[in-house]
Chains A and B, each alone.
Chain A
Amino acid sequence: QKEVEQNSGPLSVPEGAIASLNCTYSDRGSQSFFWYRQYSGKSPELIMSIYSNGDKEDGRFTAQLNKASQYVSLLIRDSQPSDSATYLCAVGRNTGGFKTIFGAGTRLFVKA
């Protein structure tokens, strides 16, 4: 079982729609949860972090965490073509130093 699992996609949504990205993780001791955006040929950029169950909103982005189900999601409202990128789910834990484990990413394509 992979430590952090994501559907590789591509996920294709029309401009203005809601894009929903999902992630599951295997370590119940995980403490921190992140979404990074990576444009083609660029490095990952942190866009959301969440540490407790529930929803966290930042502009058009909402991160959702359910620790009981070991599930993290990212909703992007009013999707724009500029949101087209690979979204990496990442899970952090503090065991012998803080380390983050990444999923392989979901490619999102927003059609104009």
Chain B
Amino acid sequence: ETGVTQTPRHLVMGMTNKKSLKCEQHLGHNAMYWYKQSAKKPLELMFVYSLEERVENNSVPSRFSPECPNSSHLFLHLHTLQPEDSALYLCASRGQGSYGYTFGSGTRLTVV
């Protein structure tokens, strides 16, 4: 596989469930990002992982928990979500010396 792969593509979960989103990049990039995309709103940066540092958006609720075990894999652990968390969650990666992102196909999350 090439590019940035996200699984699952679709996820429906109850408010008491725990689930994880997975992102894997095969591009040799050294920075990975989680973005949230809600209807008619700008992409919202949630978390950044790079060789230099991990950066968090302090406005992201603690019910979202990132994990980056290595430079190729990124997870977003979800627990006790709210219906307003329903959105498209996008993973992106960036190579060293490059500033544009390569996005995965996204996970469409619905919280019921």
Pick from A44, A98, A104: contact of B50, CB below 8 A.
Answer: A98
CB of A80 to closest CB in B, whole Å: 23
Tell me, in angstroms, the Cα distance from A34 to B101 when the chains sit together. 10
B48 to A97, Cβ gap below 8 A?
Answer: yes
| Chain B interfacial residues counted at CB < 8 A | 22
- Contact mask for chain A residues 93-111; partner B; CB cutoff 8 A; 1 contact, 0 none: 0001111111111000000
CB within 8 Å of B: which A13-58 residues: 32, 34, 36, 42-46, 49, 51
Using a CB–CB distance below 8 Å, which chain B residues touch chain A?
31, 35, 40-43, 45, 48, 50, 52-53, 55, 90, 94, 99-106
Using a CB–CB distance below 8 Å, which chain A residues touch chain B?
2, 4, 8, 32, 34, 36, 42-46, 49, 51, 88, 92, 96-105
